[in-house]
Amino acid sequence: MRLDSAMYRSLRLYGEWRLRFDGPLRGVHVVVAGRPQLELDDGTSYGLGPGDLVVLPRADAHTMSSSPTVRRTPYSSRSLAAESGGFEAVLGEGKDPVRIVCGVFSFADESHPAVTGFPACIHVPANAQKAPWLAGLTQALIAEAFEPGPGSEVVMARLSDALITRGLRYHLETAEEPGWLHALRDPAISRALAAVHTDLGRTWTVARLAEVAGLSRTGFAVRFVDLVGQSPMQYVFGCRMRRAEALLRDDRLTVAAIASQIGYGSESALSAAFVRHSGTTPGNFRRQTRDLPGRSATGSFLQPK
């Protein structure tokens, strides 16, 4: 996976404050100074410090504040952007501000199964033993963000590539959450995943996938659920539907041709499966997505006004 775009803005936040990031934007926060608090909508919170990295790869909405005890109505990050021209946004006044470099990013392949398997939030503390790479990458990113020059957008995109990839690797090495990325650590399940994505059009069964993995049918099914968080055939179905959605956005293929590519014997078989998945037919989905206006992945908060 590669980043398709990345954009950053600096925040200077004084006094007591709460700032709401509504999304849906895949976010990055690098704390430069201060000790802010980050809270997800499910109540999970993270105390942050200088040098910490936070990646929100699922574009979850969240709130940042000067401390966990501040309970005032949060200020909208979008409103702050509208009031602040240029690269830096400022909220409040006084001394010793909290300083954060915030970014948004998008993936070239948003339908990749890893995207749906991402955790809500990855927090890499500045002093994390398994993250000796953190200081070098964040300092380079901050330097490029505060002193942009020719080609800065390209440089920041590539730094983001490295930073986010390292963040995901850190998550793999330190967390035990089930999901696509975690399953890659298991050689047998990894072989099965690779086979599915190499040939979605094949008639996959649990027995056939178990054979690819080199495991018994029962042993494979149990291990797959434990690591991926869903059954093998649920996973295959989801992959096919995501691929169908991607192909339907392109008018070059008929629905029948798409059905053949992803393992359905007929247009009607694909239509029935697609309705179960999305609640609408492939034809309606194609018309609806064709009519949607273009939306920038780096709009709203990060887009200079």
Last residue of some domain: 117, 149, 176?
176
Per-residue tokens: 132? 């000796």
Q: Mean pLDDT across the stretch 256-280? A: 94
Per DSSP, 74 falls in state: P
- Report if residue 191 sits inside a domain: yes
Total domains in the chain come to: 2
Same structural domain for residues 100 and 142? yes
- Report if residue 94 sits inside a domain: yes
CA 244/CA 219 separation, integer angstroms? 30
Same structural domain for residues 140 and 220? no
Per-residue pLDDT reduced to its tens digit, 198-230: 899 999 999 999 999 999 999 999 999 988 888
Same structural domain for residues 63 and 113? yes
CA 102/CA 108 separation, integer angstroms? 20
Q: What's the CATH number where 41 sits?
A: 2.60.120.280
Same structural domain for residues 221 and 256? yes
For residue 279, pLDDT beyond 70: yes
Determine the Cα angle at 4 with ends 187 and 183, to 5°.
15
pLDDT at 1: 58
Same structural domain for residues 227 and 156? no
- Report if residue 300 sits inside a domain: no
Per DSSP, 51 falls in state: T
Same structural domain for residues 101 and 49? yes
- Report if residue 70 sits inside a domain: yes
- Report if residue 299 sits inside a domain: no
Same structural domain for residues 172 and 185? no
Mean pLDDT for the chain overall: 85
Per-residue tokens: 73? 């109505």
* Range name among 21-25, 226-230, 300-304 with the lowest pLDDT average: 300-304
**Contact predicate 56/121, CB 8 Å:** yes
Element (H, E) at 8: strand 3-13
Single out the residue of 206, 191, 278, 275 nearest to residue 236, CA to CA: 206
Same structural domain for residues 62 and 197? no
* pLDDT class of 106 with cuts at 50, 70, 90: confident
For residue 305, pLDDT beyond 50: no
How far is residue 63 CA from its own chain's centroid?
Answer: 17
Same structural domain for residues 89 and 195? no
For residue 301, pLDDT beyond 50: no
Per-residue pLDDT reduced to its tens digit, 78-103: 888 888 766 788 998 889 999 999 88
CA 10/CA 66 separation, integer angstroms? 16
Residue 26's domain spans which residues?
3-176
Same structural domain for residues 157 and 97? yes
Same structural domain for residues 127 and 268? no
- Report if residue 305 sits inside a domain: no
Same structural domain for residues 86 and 191? no
Last residue of some domain: 176, 195, 228?
176
Q: What's the CATH number where 243 sits?
A: 1.10.10.60
List residues bridging with 122 in a β-sheet.
Answer: 55
Last residue of some domain: 152, 176, 200?
176
